[in-house]
């Protein structure tokens, strides 16, 4: 074998190895930002919370392209968990078959439910012992959830993100 | 689950909006998002396998002075095996992380190829072109890869939801402890290899290391136990010097695991395994409770135990002698370069010869390093692929660990979080323990390098570990709308 081929093989293999590493890093990078389009990393304005506090008189407007796509746990033992939202309702509670199983002493087995209605997600308390809170107001019947407003269940906080 | 997968796909295609597609049945019709993920996995896998083939060809070019067509066979068998696993993933875990399989497959394939290169080095120059595909260490490793990947596929096939595992937690924990302690009580003729009593030997050919499997079983138990106890462990505490320390009675299980790992250290003469078990437990505890005090307690207990064992080795000897010797070699390997320090000295010389870029595949002399097919495989590779190559391999391990932690972060139940976090950390710790050992960062211990070293038990156990990570990452990444909850 001519020397040049061996040298090419020697360095070529190292180059390929690193190309593989960087390809994988690229895949991971795309994966991390998957489902987030431009500007997604900016949290929704907190001011929207006012609408929820004022009550149901004025249902929060859903602008085009501002629909919720993920549910993020921001506090509690599951902090960091992300759920990609689809069409199906999300159940939250200690029961094993909930979509989001929270191990929290202040949560009930079937605590609350998030249901989509015409692109707007509604939160509904399922008769929990300690209640569900949207920002600071207690949730009774189905209440629209604006983006970025925390839903509090026991020690756990959830937010809808675009 | 009753829909047979032989149902004609044309029928489903004709009525795309029917709820048929929503049924999570055994079918090749994947969700578009899942299909994209799996396609990425397939391409990465093929890229990795092409590299293994390229490496094998380069080895032949260097060692035989020609490239025979034989180099295709090991690469082809590996590709077929991993493609099989890919198909199982498509059927049973369509949303699983796309990076895990290709990266692990590349490490595994590279290990097989390097072992084959060692076989070529051992054979006579004119016998080399005739080396059969399943001959030697490389061939054996190839067979073990077949078994290991089949095991991983079976695990993915049988366990549909990682939460099922928690039902068997006590059984697994009990079985794990038995497996850990079994080699210690068996006679040395059955369990001792190279001074470490870690094995169960069946005849002269076949031996398993039960500790490798015990690792996974104990982790499942730790995760289950800590999910149940996390509130008590996290909340009941006393504050000392600004750090919350747990109550004395809650320390019980920690002390038990600590004592167990010390027993391993003393009676099985294996520092690495004992460090692995203890580190595993402490980190799961830390993840469960979010208390830094556990890490501090863990580090103090481990280093205290290790120093005590070293001091005892000097005073009473007996079961501590082996450990004392290892520390002495680590402190100064060049004190007896042809005697006790021989292994480590040769390993360091190998790494030094490799330099930045290595001598090229097949152009070095890794057989100078003793035990190069097991413990010192990383040093042997280092001579031929150099620091640049080794760093790439370490980066691959790092990526696997980071994807495991990512799955832990994203999964929706506490048991899955603890299990995935613990599995990923264990893999990382094992890589650290062995590579730290061969590069003289820490005292050398007889651990296998995951996926690279020759050794069936380690390969099978680590593939099972990857299967669990895949299962958990699938649960984490399945969107809520496609039946994210499966029992």
Q: Tens-of-pLDDT digits for all 162 residues of chain A?
A: 678 888 888 899 999 999 999 999 999 988 777 654 433 344 444 444 434 444 444 444 444 446 778 888 888 877 777 787 777 788 888 877 788 888 777 888 888 888 888 778 888 888 888 888 888 888 888 888 888 888 888 888 888 887
Q: How many CB atoms lie within 10 A of CB B322?
A: 19
Write out chain B residues lying below 8 Å of A9, CB-based: 54, 57-58, 61-62, 360-361
Specify the pLDDT at position A40. 38
DSSP calls for B116-175 = HHHHHHHS-TTTGGG--TT-HHHHHHHHHHHHHHHHHHHHHHH-SSGGGGGGGHHHHHHH
Among B108, B412, B416, B418, most A C-beta atoms within 10 A, so best to mutate, is B412
Specify the pLDDT at position B393. 95
Indicate the residue of A27, A31, A99 with minimum beta-carbon distance to B485: A99
Nearest CA in chain B to A97: B485
Residues in chain A: 162
B51–A20 C-beta distance less than 8 A: yes
Q: Kindly give, in sequence order, each residue whose CB lies less than 8 Å from that of residue B399, ignoring residues fewer than 6 positions away.
A: A21, A24, A25, A28, B99, B103
Specify the pLDDT at position B49. 94
A138 in helix, strand or coil?
Answer: strand
Specify the pLDDT at position A55. 41
pLDDT one digit per residue (tens) for chain B, 487 residues: 344 444 444 443 333 333 333 444 455 577 788 888 899 999 999 999 999 999 999 988 888 888 887 788 889 999 999 999 999 999 989 999 999 999 999 999 999 999 999 988 888 777 777 777 777 888 889 999 999 999 999 999 999 888 888 888 889 888 888 888 887 777 766 666 666 667 777 766 667 888 888 889 988 988 888 888 777 776 666 666 666 666 666 667 667 777 777 777 667 767 777 788 888 888 888 888 777 877 888 888 888 888 888 888 888 777 677 778 888 888 888 888 888 888 889 999 999 998 899 888 888 888 888 888 888 999 999 999 999 999 999 999 999 999 999 999 888 888 999 999 999 999 999 999 899 989 989 888 777 889 998 888 899 999 999 999 999 999 988 876 544 444 3
Count of CB pairs separated by less than 8 Å, A with B: 132
Whose CA is closest to B44, among B469, B388, B377, B400? B400
Taking CA atoms, B81 is separated from B34, B223, B446, B465, B470, in Å, by: 22, 31, 29, 18, 17
Specify the pLDDT at position B194. 64
Nearest CA in chain A to B53: A13
Specify the pLDDT at position B421. 93
Task: Check: CB of residue B378 under 8 Å from CB of residue B452.
Answer: yes
Query: Residue B413 — φ and ψ, nearest 5°?
Result: -125, 155
Q: How many CB atoms lie within 10 A of CB B415?
A: 22
Q: Kindly give, in sequence order, each residue whose CB lies less than 8 Å from that of residue B134, ignoring residues fewer than 6 positions away.
A: B140, B142, B143
Cβ neighbourhood burial of B12 (10 Å; 0-12, 13-18, 19+): middle
Residues in chain B: 487
Write out chain B residues lying below 8 Å of A14, CB-based: 357-358, 385-386, 388-389, 392
Q: How far apart are CA B357 and CA B366, in angstroms?
A: 15
The ipTM estimated for the assembled molecules is 0.83
Among B389, B479, B482, B486, most A C-beta atoms within 10 A, so best to mutate, is B479
Write out chain B residues lying below 8 Å of A1, CB-based: 61-62, 65-66
- Reported as a single tens digit per residue, the pLDDT across B454-467 is 888 899 999 999 99
Specify the pLDDT at position A56. 41
B403–A28 C-beta distance less than 8 A: yes
Write out chain A residues lying below 8 Å of B231, CB-based: 105
């Amino acid at each position: 074998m001519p020397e040049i081929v061996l040298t090419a093989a020697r360095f070529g293999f190292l180059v390929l190895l690193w190309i593989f590493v960087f390809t994988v890093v690229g895949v991971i990078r795309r994966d991390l930002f998957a489902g987030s389009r431009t500007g997604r990393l900016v949290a929704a304005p907190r001011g929207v919370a006012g609408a929820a506090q004022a009550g149901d008189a004025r249902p929060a407007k859903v602008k085009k392209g501002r629909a919720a796509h993920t549910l993020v746990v921001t506090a509690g033992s599951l902090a960091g968990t992300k759920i990609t939202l689809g069409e199906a309702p999300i159940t939250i509670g200690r029961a094993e078959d909930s979509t989001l199983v929270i191990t929290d002493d202040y949560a009930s087995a079937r605590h609350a439910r998030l249901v989509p209605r015409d692109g707007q997600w509604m939160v509904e308390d399922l008769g929990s012992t300690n209640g569900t809170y949207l920002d600071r107001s207690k949730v009774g019947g189905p209440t629209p959830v604006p983006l970025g407003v925390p839903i509090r269940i026991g020690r756990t906080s959830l937010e809808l993100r675009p | 689950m009753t829909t047979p997968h032989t149902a004609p796909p044309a029928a489903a295609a004709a009525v795309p909006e029917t709820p048929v597609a929503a049924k999570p049945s055994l079918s090749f019709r994947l969700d578009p998002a899942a299909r994209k993920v799996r396609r990425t996995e397939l391409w990465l896998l093929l890229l990795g396998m092409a590299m293994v083939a390229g490496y094998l060809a380069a080895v032949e070019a260097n060692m035989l002075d020609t490239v025979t067509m034989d180099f295709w066979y090991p690469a082809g068998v590996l590709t077929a095996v991993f493609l099989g696993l890919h198909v199982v993933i498509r059927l049973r875990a369509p949303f699983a992380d796309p990076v895990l399989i290709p990266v692990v497959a590349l490490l595994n394939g590279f290990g097989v190829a390097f072992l084959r290169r060692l076989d070529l080095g051992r054979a006579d120059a004119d016998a080399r072109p005739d080396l059969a595909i399943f001959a030697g260490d490389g061939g054996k490793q190839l067979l073990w890869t077949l078994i290991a990947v089949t095991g991983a596929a079976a695990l993915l096939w049988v366990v549909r939801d990682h939460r099922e595992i928690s039902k068997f937690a006590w059984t697994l924990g009990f079985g794990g402890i038995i497996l850990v302690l079994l080699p210690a009580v068996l006679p040395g003729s059955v369990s001792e290899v190279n001074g470490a009593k870690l094995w169960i030997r069946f005849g002269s050919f076949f031996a398993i290391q039960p500790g490798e499997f015990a690792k996974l079983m104990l982790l499942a138990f730790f995760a289950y136990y800590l999910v149940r106890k996390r509130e008590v462990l996290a909340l009941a505490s006393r504050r000392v010097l600004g750090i919350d320390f747990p109550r004395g009675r809650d320390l019980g299980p920690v002390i038990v695991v600590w004592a167990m790992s010390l027993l391993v250290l003393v009676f099985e003469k294996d520092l690495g395994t004992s460090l692995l078990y203890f580190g595993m437990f402490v980190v799961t505890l830390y993840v469960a409770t979010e208390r830094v005090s556990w890490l501090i307690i863990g580090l103090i207990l481990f280093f205290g135990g290790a120093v005590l064992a070293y001091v005892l080795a000097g005073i009473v000897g007996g079961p501590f002698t082996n450990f004392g010797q290892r520390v002495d070699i680590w402190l100064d390997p060049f004190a007896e370069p042809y005697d006790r320090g021989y292994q480590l000295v040769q390993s360091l010389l190998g790494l030094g010869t490799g330099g930045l870029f290595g001598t090229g595949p097949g152009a070095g002399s890794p057989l100078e390093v003793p035990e190069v097919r097991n413990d010192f495989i990383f040093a042997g590779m280092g001579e031929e692929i150099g620091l640049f190559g080794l760093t790439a391999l370490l980066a691959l391990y790092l990526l696997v660990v980071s994807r495991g932690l990512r799955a832990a972060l994203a999964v929706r139940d506490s048991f899955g979080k603890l299990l995935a976090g613990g599995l990923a950390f264990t893999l990382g710790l094992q890589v650290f323990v062995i590579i730290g050992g061969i590069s003289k960062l820490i005292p050398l211990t007889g651990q296998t390098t995951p996926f690279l070293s020759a050794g069936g038990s380690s390969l099978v156990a680590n593939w099972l570990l990857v299967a669990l990570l895949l299962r958990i990452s699938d649960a984490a990444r399945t969107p809520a709308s496609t039946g994210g909850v499966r029992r």
